[in-house]
Homo-oligomer: A and B are copies of this chain.
Amino acid sequence: MMRTRPLKVALLGCGVVGSEVARIMTTHADDLAARIGAPVELAGVAVRRPSKVREGIPAELVTTDATALVKRGDIDVVVEVIGGIEPARTLITTAFEHGASVVSANKALLAQDGAALHAAAEEHGKDLYYEAAVAGAIPLIRPLRESLAGDKVNRVLGIVNGTTNFILDKMDSTGAGYQEALDEATALGYAEADPTADVEGFDAAAKAAILAGIAFHTRVRLDDVYREGMTEVTAADFRSAKEMGCTIKLLAICERSKDGASVTARVHPAMIPLTHPLASVRGAYNAVFVESDAAGQLMFYGPGAGGAPTASAVLGDLVAVCRNRLNGATGPGESAYAALTVSPMGDVITRYHISLDVADKPGVLAQVATVFAEHGVSIDTVRQQGKDGEASLVVVTHRASDASLTGTVEALRKLDTVRGVASIMRVEGE
């Protein structure tokens, strides 16, 4: 069964993930060979700084010329773990042109240019796999694309960014404010020096675009994903959440509309009930809920980042792509046949939790309630609290379109009796 000519792998990038990929390829070489049906050989490693010592990687494999490496012509699989748009995009395209299949962990690139890259892969009859791009080690792309291929997915709801989950979990458990929790995340290495991509939701939005595309067999671009970061979540929001039996998570939510004709994808902080399984996802872990017609509710949980977990996902793809190559076949490519409409955030049906600072005089509640009614938004609960002559109103709505809810808030801001809107947060996960 075993053929002896090895499959050749070019590794682009040798940072936290790449070095783990190289390490496992060496230490698990026999297992990989047995599982693939042929040995795999690290044929070259493209890096930016060749002087850095890389344990276990022979110096003669290291090059700074990634383009020459992917153009060699004898490479079977290119593993791209550089990240970012360029030069990754050009290198991947060049790899297809020169006969290689590609395994990538690049969520930003896939979210932005997935369709073009899939088209290039198909044109050249090659594979493009990217399990590691979403939620690290957690198998998600393959289950959505293959295990649920006979089902109809209606919703994907998940915590797909470990940094922000660490921060929110810390705020929840200690009562800390955002900055304090961020500082701790940075000190412990969970947040990068510039945390923008995580805390502003860009990273989660890229993953949401990829997940929505696969789940709904529809092209969903990064620009289609509504995105709201979590930098404005306060300790007071967590206190309000607790009063409701909730916690706050940064969620990526991809939903099919009730009539089935359109989909939405969004990333924002939201209150979810403590009884919801996602509420108990601690620290930097990720977890994704998938709801489908036949399977019902499934959850996938695990480490969403880190060198070894991400390498595990990369190597799973590498084995699959190598097997396909030996079979002379390719795995499932892009599936966008459904081509559903991707609707804007205003069409999303959700609930709001709104805290208002209001004048402490009779008739305020009636005024506020009238505004909700005028926008067709039904109120679930109202809580009034007096504090030093001022008063606060906490309103939780029933489900309504995000556009109606936004319109309601705008109108509330214009009321003389409303001194300010202290916070607005969506409520999810019922």
Contacts and interface: CB of A to CB of B under 8 A. Distances in A.
A276 to B, nearest CB: 11
Interface in A333-350: 335, 337-338
Contacts of A211: none
A35 B149 contact: yes
A34 interface: yes
A151 interface: yes
A197 B308 CA distance: 40
A337 to B, nearest CB: 4
B297 A302 contact: yes
Interface string A313-331: 1111111100110011110
B320 A294 contact: no
Nearest to A136: B295
29 contacts: A24-B150, A24-B294, A28-B150, A32-B150, A34-B337, A34-B338, A35-B149, A35-B335, A35-B337, A139-B143, A143-B143, A146-B319, A147-B313, A148-B316, A149-B316, A149-B320, A150-B312, A150-B314, A151-B315, A294-B312, A295-B312, A298-B300, A298-B301, A299-B299, A299-B301, A300-B300, A324-B329, A327-B330, A328-B328
A129 to B, nearest CB: 10
A131 B152 contact: no
A78 B158 CA distance: 36
Given A137-B298, A151-B315, 12 more contacts: A24-B150, A35-B332, A139-B147, A142-B146, A146-B320, A150-B315, A295-B303, A295-B308, A296-B308, A297-B302, A300-B301, A327-B330
Contact of A294 (B149, B150, B308, B317): B308
A217 interface: yes
A184 B162 CA distance: 41
A31 interface: yes
A150 B303 contact: no
Nearest to A298: B302
B294 A302 contact: no
Contacts of A308: 293-296
A300 B138 CA distance: 9
A160 to B, nearest CB: 15
A323 B320 CA distance: 15
A376 B277 CA distance: 41
A252 B317 CA distance: 28
Contacts of A311: 150, 294
A305 to B, nearest CB: 11
A196 interface: no
A417 interface: no
A177 interface: no
Contacts of A309: 294-296
A92 to B, nearest CB: 20
Contact of A296 (B24, B303, B327): B303
Contacts of A64: none
Interface string A7-35: 00000000000001000100010011011
A313 B335 CA distance: 19
Contact of A217 (B24, B35, B143, B300): B35
Nearest to A314: B150
Nearest to A32: B150
A292 interface: yes
Nearest to A289: B301
A385 interface: no
Contacts of A31: 152, 217, 338
